[in-house]
Amino acid sequence: MRLSAVPAIVLACLTLSGCSSSLGPEPLLNVGPSSETTSSVVRPTAPVPAAEVAQVADVEPAQPKVPPQPMPHELAWAGAVPQSPAFLQQQNAVPTAMPVPSDRPLAMSEPDDTDMDAPPRRSRSRIFSHRFRDAKPINFGSASPRKLAVHGVDVSRWQGEIDWLKLQSQGANFVYIKATDGGDHLDPMFRKNWRNAHAAGLKRGAYHFFYWCRTAGEQADWFIRNVPREANALPPVIDVEWNGESSCKRRVSPEKVREKMQVFMDKLERHYGQRPIIYTAPDFYRDNLKGAFMDYPFWLRSVAAHPSKVYPGRKWVFWQYSGSGISHGVDNRIDLNVFHGNEDDWHDWLSSRT
């Protein structure tokens, strides 16, 4: 019995060993981490960098120092990755945007001497020297208009077709163009002259010949209807004079003259944003305007003497010194004018009016 029991025990052991070995060794690489956690296992919130799986060895290899890879939507940080405990603790916190160095310092984006409050600089137009001739020259002596720097002309349909570039080369730095008469007449050359003078680079403005037989409001509306409001245009002009060739022969009192003028000028100033200029001749000025409208700019006709002699005490901006000018670019006689000041004064006046 004792001997026979030994084989039985051996046989039982062999049977148990065969059941266990029929499954084979458990593949280690197919066993993933548990989806459960305990208080002793904390999952990192930051992404874990992927690493190449090493061959199973008896000794665990040293872990390479691999900096954490950026998320696809984040910019990479070129600096060294700190390994301090504070940094590791920060990895478990809510991630924040990491500072990214700019391409260049902010101070380099603008010149140091830029004055942000300074107004934009205006480009100065070229001043063409006076080269006009005069069919009826006048000797103005030491007060000659030739001594002033900025000359110009005024035109209407009576000058016909104009070569504006040639006229400019002769000394026309500005031009006043006849636009309207009364309350229903438009100069047939106005639109063409207005367009072509601008294309040639001349400073241009429009003038209205005032009729004493029409209301001031009607005349202002007619002018506004036909003359564009443009930022770079010269101030509008009201031409007031007695004209025997006009169909309107009426002459009103000085008080009525000034009243009608004021209505017209107020309406134009509201529309164009510029105070109108008053053009007049010696006899009309003497009868109606002497001592009046002192805060308005004047354009004075004086073809025989300096304005200071014909209009004593009156300040002026433009002086019409000839009605018999001759110039290349114009077939007929042309009115010649000059600005009261030097080139700097001209540019300053333009910038304050246009």
Task: Provide the token pair at 135.
Answer: 């069919």
Residues 6+ apart with CB under 8 A from 250: 212, 213
Pairing of strands 277-280, 298-301: parallel
Catalytic site includes residue 241: yes
Contacts of 130 (CB under 8 A, 6+ apart): 146, 151, 171
Strand, coil or helix: what is 76?
Answer: coil
Q: Of 230, 241, 269, 343, which one is the catalytic site residue?
A: 241
3-class DSSP state of 338: strand
According to DSSP, the residues that pair with 185 across neighbouring strands are 181
- Rounded to an integer, what distance in angstroms lies between the CA atom of residue 175 and that of residue 330? 13
Query: Contact 321/299 with Cβ under 8 angstroms?
Result: no
CB-CB contact of 320 with 300 (8 Å): yes
CA-based nearest residue to 145, from 156, 155, 135, 132: 132
Count of Cβ atoms closer than 10 Å to residue 38 Cβ: 7
Give the pair of three-digit tokens for residue 148. 């002033």
Q: Decide: residue 108, CB within 10 A, 0-12 exposed, 13-18 middle, 19+ buried.
A: exposed
Alpha helices in the chain (DSSP H): 2-21, 85-91, 164-169, 190-199, 216-226, 254-272, 282-284, 307-310, 343-353
Give the amino acid at 90.
Q
Q: Which two tokens stand for residue 295?
A: 């805060």
Are the CB atoms for 334 and 212 separated by under 8 Å?
no
Cα 266 to chain centroid distance, Å, stands at 29
Joined together, the tokens standing for residue 144 give 């000659």
Match 């100033």 to its residue by tokens. 269
Q: List residues with catalytic annotation.
A: 241
